[in-house]
């Protein structure tokens, strides 16, 4: 079926960091390495560690999109850093494809024997589609896709421009899909738009991406922007005209909710997950994790959307668990640093109003059991793609407004302009004692 070519005005410049586009921050350049499905070989991990030490500050961050980024890149070392990473096979097949490898999958994809579908071959097909078709390189570096096979460990709170989730098992499984959101796992969430057979997923994605590029203006970089002008029903009608098979109803399908913090510790009896403090690693830690992967695993690591890492197929889970703890990684949700998220803050970002990393370290010993808190240096909320149960939003150095997730935005304001000690006290108090108008 012939369709109009995507609008050339859809080619969009970006200020987002990439492997080939190092963006300056207050603490130096940022180089973001997009990992296909979050996967990183031990050899590549060593290359990242060496490059971060030789050409930057040595600070390496795990991102909430299962990628890595190197901070503090020196201006005179940018090309040397890029060359080292490309030599390690960490780049895309062509320069224009580096930005578009935004496909999130479960860190257990292909490993979870209880998953509905092993989505690994389908994920590879989708990545090839994004990288090999040059007109898709016009997508924004923030344009993101989710492919969910029903794994036990999954992030279902990050909004995605397009999401697909398995509804059944095997080759004949249907995949529900939606736009500018997440797979529904509670009755309150927006339902799936429709469903397609597994074999039709690539054609569906190609049609959706081409439809987006054709309709979107340069200012409409995300699917939610397009939906503000073109309702879902209109897009579905246009989409159906591009497909050879009819879209199928998804009904009231809901995706079973995954277990919280299941990415930490021993996972499915043979994988081990650990979270570096506030998502940050140094080169020595990443080197040591690479050694663990070679010694006890299959020579690979997987990044997760919780700013953590998974060592798959561990031959001795106890030894790996102990080694991760010795490296300073949290492997248990009861550890406070496993439940704290913090952006770069004023130490590395000109927009940050407080040193969120240092303040999070100070909050950790005060954090009550089970509380999950995000410290954000400004309203952009860069460190968390979803709203956390509690948010401390910086208003000045060491001072924050405290919010509890409840509806739109950061949620309900619990306290205004408080310090870290008072924040710890407020979080430890019973919710019944909080005032709705502090």
**pLDDT tens digits, one per residue of 118-149:** 999 999 999 999 999 999 999 999 999 999 99
Same domain, 329 and 355: no
Q: Is residue 209 part of a domain?
A: yes
Same domain, 295 and 357: no
Q: What is the residue range of 29's domain?
A: 11-98+267-333
- Looking at residues 383-392, what average pLDDT do you find? 87
Gap between the Cα atoms of 88 and 84, Å rounded: 6
Q: Is residue 212 part of a domain?
A: yes
What is the pLDDT at residue 3?
42
What is the pLDDT at residue 436?
38
Same domain, 294 and 385: no
CATH number at residue 353: 3.30.413.10
What is the pLDDT at residue 199?
96
Q: Is residue 256 part of a domain?
A: no
Q: Is residue 348 part of a domain?
A: yes
Q: Is residue 258 part of a domain?
A: no
Same domain, 226 and 307: no
* Tokens, residue 320: 């790996």
Residue 46 host element (H or E): helix 42-55
Tell whether the model's pLDDT for residue 238 goes beyond 50. yes
> Taking a C-beta distance cutoff of 8 angstroms, is the pair 329, 70 a contact?
no
Look over the chain and give the mean of its residue pLDDT values, rounded to a whole number.
Answer: 93
* Domain count along the chain: 3
Same domain, 175 and 91: no
Same domain, 312 and 347: no
- Strand ordering across the sheet containing 103-104: 103-104, 145-148, 160-166, 174-181, 194-197
Among residues 316, 333, 350, which one ends one of the domains? 333
- Give per-residue pLDDT as tens, 304-323: 999 999 999 999 999 999 99
Among residues 338, 207, 190, 324, the alpha carbon closest in space to that of 260 is found at: 338
What is the pLDDT at residue 16?
87
Same domain, 122 and 237: yes
Same domain, 195 and 293: no
- Give per-residue pLDDT as tens, 242-282: 999 999 999 999 999 998 999 999 999 999 999 999 999 99
* Tokens, residue 26: 């207050």
Among residues 310, 333, 356, which one ends one of the domains? 333
pLDDT band at 6; cut points 50, 70, 90: very low
Helices of type H across 228-267: 232-242
What is the pLDDT at residue 5?
42
What is the pLDDT at residue 438?
36
> Taking a C-beta distance cutoff of 8 angstroms, is the pair 252, 221 a contact?
no
What is the pLDDT at residue 437?
35
pLDDT band at 430; cut points 50, 70, 90: low
Among residues 204, 226, 242, which one ends one of the domains? 242
Alpha-carbon dihedral angle through residues 63, 87, 102, 20, given to the nearest 10 degrees: 80
What is the pLDDT at residue 93?
84
Same domain, 293 and 360: no
Tell whether the model's pLDDT for residue 432 goes beyond 70. no
What is the pLDDT at residue 15?
75
Q: Is residue 107 part of a domain?
A: no
Same domain, 235 and 324: no
Q: Report DSSP state, residue 275.
A: B
pLDDT band at 431; cut points 50, 70, 90: low
What is the pLDDT at residue 34?
96
Q: Is residue 41 part of a domain?
A: yes
Tell whether the model's pLDDT for residue 355 goes beyond 90. yes
Same domain, 328 and 346: no
CATH number at residue 27: 3.90.480.20
Q: Is residue 262 part of a domain?
A: no
Same domain, 343 and 384: yes
What is the pLDDT at residue 387?
84
What is the pLDDT at residue 112?
96
- Looking at residues 222-240, what average pLDDT do you find? 96
Q: What percent of the chain has pLDDT over 90?
A: 87
What is the pLDDT at residue 203?
97
- Give per-residue pLDDT as tens, 93-113: 888 899 999 999 999 999 999
Gap between the Cα atoms of 130 and 389, Å rounded: 34
What is the pLDDT at residue 14?
62
Residues 6+ apart with CB under 8 A from 5: 135, 214
CA distances to 103, 346, 372, 403 from 394, in Å: 31, 10, 17, 11
pTM of the model: 0.93
pLDDT band at 171; cut points 50, 70, 90: confident
């Amino acid at each position: 079926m012939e369709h109009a070519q995507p609008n050339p005005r859809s080619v969009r410049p970006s200020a987002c960091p990439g492997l080939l586009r190092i963006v300056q921050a207050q603490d130096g350049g940022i180089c973001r390495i997009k990992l296909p499905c979050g996967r990183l070989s031990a050899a590549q991990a060593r290359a990242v560690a060496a490059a971060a030490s030789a050409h930057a500050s040595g600070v390496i961050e795990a991102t909430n999109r299962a990628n890595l980024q190197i901070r503090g890149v020196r201006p005179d070392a940018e090309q040397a850093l890029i060359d080292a990473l490309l030599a390690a096979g960490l780049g895309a097949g062509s320069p224009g494809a580096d930005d578009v490898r935004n496909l999130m999958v479960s860190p257990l994809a292909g490993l979870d024997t209880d998953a509905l579908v092993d989505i690994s071959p389908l994920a590879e097909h989708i990545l090839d589609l994004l990288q090999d078709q040059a007109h898709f390189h016009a997508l924004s570096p923030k344009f993101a896709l989710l492919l969910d096979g029903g794994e036990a460990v999954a992030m279902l709170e990050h909004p995605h421009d397009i999401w697909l989730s398995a509804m059944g098992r095997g080759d004949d499984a249907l995949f529900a899909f939606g736009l500018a959101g997440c797979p529904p796992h509670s009755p309150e969430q927006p339902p799936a738009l429709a469903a397609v057979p597994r074999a039709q997923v690539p054609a569906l994605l190609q049609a959706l991406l081409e439809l987006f590029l054709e309709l979107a203006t340069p200012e409409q970089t995300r699917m939610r922007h397009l939906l503000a002008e073109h309702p879902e029903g209109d897009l579905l009608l246009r989409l159906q005209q591009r497909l050879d098979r009819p879209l199928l109803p998804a009904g009231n399908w809901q995706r079973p909710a995954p277990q919280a913090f299941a990415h930490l510790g021993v996972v499915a009896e043979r994988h081990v997950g650990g979270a570096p403090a506030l998502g940050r690693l140094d080169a020595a830690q990443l080197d040591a994790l690479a050694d663990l992967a070679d010694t006890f695993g299959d020579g690979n690591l997987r990044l997760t959307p919780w700013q953590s890492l998974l060592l798959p197929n561990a031959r001795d889970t106890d030894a790996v668990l102990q080694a991760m703890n010795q490296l300073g990684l949290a492997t248990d949700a009861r550890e406070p640093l496993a439940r704290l998220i913090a952006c770069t803050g004023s130490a590395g970002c000109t927009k940050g109003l407080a040193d969120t990393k240092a303040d999070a370290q100070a909050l950790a010993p005060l954090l009550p059991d089970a509380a999950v808190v995000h410290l954000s240096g400004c309203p952009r909320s860069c460190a968390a793609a979803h709203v956390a149960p509690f948010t401390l939003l910086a208003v000045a150095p060491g001072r924050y407004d405290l919010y509890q997730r409840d509806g739109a935005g950061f949620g309900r304001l619990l306290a205004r302009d408080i310090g870290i000690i008072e924040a710890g006290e407020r979080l430890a108090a019973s919710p019944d004692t909080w005032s709705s108008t502090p």
